[in-house]
């Protein structure tokens, strides 16, 4: 059985000004470390990407130390795929466009620091094909806390924003009063020790990822739906040996109708060729539903790569490997690498019918006109 893999970022980042100076902020890392500890204590596999803080690594947590925002962004990307990510770090919004030499006092007066924007790690992850099922941001605000946090939820495309008011001694302090902001509303918690905030958040995260409670240790192998989307159905997914290590089908954006699915093999499709490409998993769709396999528009437009039987249907009683029948209608050979996104999966309700044989059909104004009878 595989543990849920959860990524936590924590602490500040240090942005060098020159070889001896840096820009920093007052984040202590305590809240992020406490969350990592609480998740690990509950059996999750936790990767903690930590900015420069002098805190002990919580038991059972894999820690990756970084200094700058760019290093943190790279470490987060390297940790994927994960089931959930909690971005607790106070990432510097800007770094210094720095010189390699130490800045010296001189006759020219004070130096000017040129700032360059850092990547938004949370927003980048939200838009990534490897977006985790549950993506949580933190917001440190000094005024209109929930209003700003609600705007941040939409802007960063997170599932939850945990907002706190840092106008007091929260940064570096031992207690925190947080508001949990989701698309469904705002829940405000009383001021609690950071360990208690962490314990409650960890419980809530695990309950969200494994709603039936029993699946805490094996959800990566059994669920591939986004619980944040309303009206979702549960589709059991079994990874096959050659699918190990590949990202599960995932919704690339908040409003995406289809989950992008990746290839579990590599091949080259010459012009005019077709092939059933392995995905490395099998699924059990609930009765009354199908999953449609549809082409990706970018591949179709740029390369002439389409699903030949589009929209393909995966029936609810099919338990074999999901394969995507791709055809190359373009003029160039098309190389597919393992892990490339090749199609999208769209679950849909099925309307079945019963046939009744009759002698005559009812009349309509159109009658038998068809096949272009209404004009071009
Ligand atoms: N964050 C991030 N990468 C950045 C900046 C922020 O991943 N470069 C994440 C933080 O870890 C946190 C969330 O985004 O989860 C909110 O960060 P914050 O700096 O408060 O938000 P901003 O978008 O910078 O908004 P503002 O400065 O207006 O408060």
The H or E element containing residue 299 is: helix 297-303
Q: Shortest CA distance to 252 belongs to which of 264, 239, 261?
A: 261
Q: Shortest CA distance to 135 belongs to which of 254, 44, 223?
A: 254
Question: Sorting pLDDT into bands at 50, 70 and 90, what band is 176?
Answer: confident
Neighbour count for residue 104 (Cβ, 10 Å):
8
Q: Residue 218: is its pLDDT beyond 50?
A: no
Q: How far is the CA of 310 from the centre of ligand 1 (A)?
A: 41
Q: Residue 217: is its pLDDT beyond 60?
A: no
User: CA separation (Å) from 315 to 282, 321, 342?
Assistant: 12, 12, 20
Q: What is the pLDDT of residue 172?
A: 66
Question: Which residues make Cβ contacts (< 8 Å) with residue 81, sequence separation at least 6?
Answer: 5, 130, 132, 247, 248
Mean pLDDT of 78-94: 96
Q: What is the pLDDT of residue 143?
A: 87
Q: How far is the CA of 21 from the centre of ligand 1 (A)?
A: 23
Is the C-beta atom of 69 inside 6 A of ligand 1?
Answer: yes
Q: Shortest CA distance to 264 belongs to which of 283, 249, 284, 244?
A: 244
| Better pLDDT: 282 or 244 | 282
Residue 252 three-state SS: coil
Question: Sorting pLDDT into bands at 50, 70 and 90, what band is 109?
Answer: confident
Is the C-beta atom of 89 inside 6 A of ligand 1?
Answer: yes
Q: Residue 263: is its pLDDT beyond 50?
A: yes
Is the C-beta atom of 159 inside 6 A of ligand 1?
Answer: no
Question: Sorting pLDDT into bands at 50, 70 and 90, what band is 231?
Answer: low
DSSP 156: H
Sign of CA dihedral 200, 206, 210, 214: negative
Ligand 1 atom 16, closest CA: 139
Q: How far is the CA of 54 from the centre of ligand 1 (A)?
A: 22
Q: Shortest CA distance to 15 belongs to which of 59, 54, 71?
A: 71
Q: Residue 213: is its pLDDT beyond 90?
A: no
Q: Which range, 70-84, 162-176, 281-295, has the best average confidence (pLDDT)?
A: 70-84
Question: Sorting pLDDT into bands at 50, 70 and 90, what band is 328?
Answer: very high
Q: Hey, which residues are catalytic here?
A: 25
Residue recorded with tokens 């060098």: 16
Q: Shortest CA distance to 330 belongs to which of 282, 295, 284?
A: 295
Question: Which residues make Cβ contacts (< 8 Å) with residue 138, sequence separation at least 6?
Answer: 31, 86, 87, 88, 161, 162, 163, 164
**Strand bridging mode 185-188 / 178-182:** antiparallel
| Better pLDDT: 137 or 287 | 137
- On the 0-12 / 13-18 / 19+ scale of CB atoms within 10 A, 329 is middle
Ligand 1 atom 25, closest CA: 152
Neighbour count for residue 256 (Cβ, 10 Å):
15
DSSP 241: G
The domains of the chain, with CATH numbers, are 5-209 (3.40.50.10300), 224-349 (2.70.40.10)
Is the C-beta atom of 138 inside 6 A of ligand 1?
Answer: yes
Neighbour count for residue 174 (Cβ, 10 Å):
13
Phi-psi domain of 298 (left: phi exceeds 0; alpha: psi -120 through 50; beta: other): alpha
Q: How far is the CA of 322 from the centre of ligand 1 (A)?
A: 39
């Amino acid at each position: 059985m595989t543990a849920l893999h959860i990524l936590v970022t924590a602490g500040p980042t240090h942005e060098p000004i020159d070889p001896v100076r840096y820009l920093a902020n007052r984040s202590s890392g305590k809240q992020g470390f406490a969350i990592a500890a609480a998740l690990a204590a509950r059996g999750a596999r936790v990767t903690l990407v930590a900015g420069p803080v002098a805190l002990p690594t919580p038991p059972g947590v894999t820690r990756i130390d970084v200094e700058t925002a760019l290093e943190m962004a790279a470490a987060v990307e390297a940790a994927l795929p994960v089931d959930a990510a909690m971005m607790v770090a106070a990432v510097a919004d800007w770094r210094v466009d720095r010189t390699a030499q130490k800045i010296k006092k001189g006759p020219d007066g004070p130096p000017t620091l040129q700032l360059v924007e850092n990547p938004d790690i949370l927003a980048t992850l939200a838009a990534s094909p490897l977006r985790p099922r549950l993506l949580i941001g933190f917001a440190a605000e000094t005024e209109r806390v929930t209003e700003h946090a609600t705007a941040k939820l939409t802007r960063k495309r997170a599932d939850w924003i945990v907002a706190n008011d840092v106008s007091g001694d929260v940064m570096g302090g031992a207690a925190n009063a947080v508001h949990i902001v989701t698309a469904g509303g705002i829940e405000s918690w009383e001021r609690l020790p950071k360990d208690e905030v962490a314990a409650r958040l960890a419980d809530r995260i695990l309950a969200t990822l494994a709603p039936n409670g029993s699946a805490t240790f094996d959800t990566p192998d059994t669920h591939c739906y986004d619980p944040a989307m309303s009206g979702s159905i549960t589709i059991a997914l079994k990874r096959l040996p050659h699918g190990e290590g590949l990202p599960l089908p995932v919704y690339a954006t908040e409003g995406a109708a289809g989950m992008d699915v990746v290839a579990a093999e590599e091949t080259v499709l010459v012009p005019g060729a077709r092939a059933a490409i392995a995905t490395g998993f099998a699924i059990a769709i609930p009765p009354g539903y199908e999953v449609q396999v549809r082409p990706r528009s970018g591949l179709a437009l740029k390369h002439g790569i389409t699903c030949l039987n589009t929209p393909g249907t995966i029936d609810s009683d099919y338990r074999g490997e999901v394969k995507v029948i791709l055809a190359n209608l373009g003029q160039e050979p098309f190389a597919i690498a393992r892990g490339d996104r090749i199609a999208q999966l769209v679950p849909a309700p099925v309307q079945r019918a019963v046939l009744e044989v009759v002698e005559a059909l009812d009349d309509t104004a159109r009658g038998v006109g068809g096949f272009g009878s209404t004009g071009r």
